[in-house]
Amino acid sequence: MIDPIRVGVLTVSDRCARGEAKDLSGPALAQLCRERLGAAIVVTACVPDDPATLEAKFREWSRADQRIDLVLSTGGTGLAPRDHTPEAAMRVIERPAAGLMELARARCAAKTVRTYLSRGVAGVAGGTLIVTLPGSVRGATENLEALLDVLPHAVETLRGEVQDDGRPDASPTSGRVIVHHD
């Protein structure tokens, strides 16, 4: 049996962090992850859109001892002056995975062209995949839904469980090798 994907959900909102608004996007992402990915939500937080705070949280959650496979953030990816999430994430991301957000935007464009106003980024820090999503419930969930078919493979690959590059002598750290023939 493959371990469930371990997810951290970070809500980035000045108003929610001050208690002036209720966080709806973070719980919606958590529910979607549980229902559609069979994921375990291991940590959640709501923080203000402060670059240093965001960077610290991304660093903390991507440490090996946290054992978080996927960090999803919601909020702070737009064009407003206080939207700093992509910049904070990129200070932590070691290997960008720009194609993930390109895919999300392309798939969401049929619903709204405003998807291209999101500056969301994705990439790997240590063994953790970080994906920054829009702050609205609709924007966050539609972008996540656009990635649900590729995220399990991304996590398997990060965990070292995938052998799909023709290496007959691959030695995954998990003791399992998942061979994809597609």
Task: Give me 143's structure tokens.
Answer: 């972008």
Domains of the chain: total: 1
Let me know how many helices (H) and strands (E) the chain has, helices first: 7, 6
Does 33 reside within a domain?
A: yes
Give the distance, in angstroms, between the CA of residue 53 and the centroid of all CA atoms in the same chain: 17
Q: Over the stretch 86-136, which tens digit does the pLDDT of each residue have?
A: 999 999 999 999 999 999 999 999 999 999 999 999 999 999 999 999 999
Higher pLDDT, 109 or 168: 109
Q: Over the stretch 10-61, which tens digit does the pLDDT of each residue have?
A: 999 999 999 999 999 999 999 999 999 999 999 999 999 999 999 999 999 9
Check whether 144 has a pLDDT greater than 90: yes
Does 176 reside within a domain?
A: no
Does 16 reside within a domain?
A: yes
Alpha helices in 14-128 (DSSP H): 14-17, 25-37, 51-61, 85-90, 98-108
Does 29 reside within a domain?
A: yes
Does 182 reside within a domain?
A: no
Does 180 reside within a domain?
A: no
Are 122 and 132 in contact by the 8 Å Cβ rule? The answer is yes
Does 11 reside within a domain?
A: yes
Q: 49 lies in which domain range?
A: 6-159
Q: The domain that contains 132 carries what CATH number?
A: 3.40.980.10
Task: Give me 21's structure tokens.
Answer: 């608004």
Confidence of residue 179 (pLDDT cuts 50, 70, 90): low
Quote the DSSP letter at residue 178. B
State the pLDDT at residue 161: 81
Closest CA relative to residue 92, chosen from 70, 117, 123: 123
